[in-house]
Amino acid sequence: MADFNFTREARTPYSECYTILEDDSTVGRIDIHYADNVVHATMTVGESLTTDGIQELIDRVSEEILDAVGIAIPPALAVGSEDQLLATLDVRSLDGWQAEIDATDSRVAKALQEAVARLKKDDPEAEMTTVPVRRGTLSTEADVEAWLDEHGKKLKKAVAKGPVIVK
């Protein structure tokens, strides 16, 4: 397994760029761009990295963060027949499945915090901020504009200091 490390090149309120190092040699770059509720990432690598190496890199980044907070992809369920369904429920009851579902939100929040901690490791001066947002129903374009104005100011101020978790 390769030993990948990441060094931040730049950060703006809406994007970050990292150099990818393998055993202290540059093998690529990751550009991350934040847009609304979507995060876009582009990874470019040199010819020395094989397709398997690229997949290993992608898997490593994803797995490290998810493992750190206890999020795992559940095994495929066998429910094609009554016997399979009963065997599956013997392993984990419906209440057990519901407990897993209920825990997802807190695990995702921990994943976000872990991602921010990894960013902070590269930039110890960065200040992690949690910004709460007002929840409610927006009925008109004016409501949307007012909400965006209210929260946009808070988020821009916070992201200038470092990574932000929105709650």
Mean pLDDT of all residues belonging to the chain: 78
47-71 per-residue burial string, b: 16 or more CB within 10 A, e: under 16: eebeeebeeebeeebeeebbeebeb
Q: What is the pLDDT of residue 1?
A: 63
- The share of the chain scoring above pLDDT 70, in percent, equals 78
What are the tens digits of pLDDT across the range 125-141? 666 677 778 888 889 99
Q: What is the pLDDT of residue 102?
A: 78
pLDDT at 62 over 90: no
Q: What is the pLDDT of residue 126?
A: 65
Q: Considering only residues 10 and 71, tell me which one the structure prediction assigns the higher pLDDT.
A: 10
Mean pLDDT is lowest, of 62-71, 80-89, 92-101, 143-152, for 62-71
How far is it, in rounded angstroms, from Cα 44 to Cα 31? 9
56 within 8 A of 28, measured Cβ to Cβ: no
* Among the listed residues 50, 68, 53, the one whose alpha carbon sits nearest the alpha carbon of residue 121: 68
Q: What is the pLDDT of residue 145?
A: 92
Tokens of 13: 């309120």
Residue with tokens 């978790």: 165
Q: What is the pLDDT of residue 65?
A: 54
111 within 8 A of 66, measured Cβ to Cβ: yes
Residue with tokens 């929840």: 135
Mean pLDDT of 154-165: 81
pLDDT at 29 over 60: yes
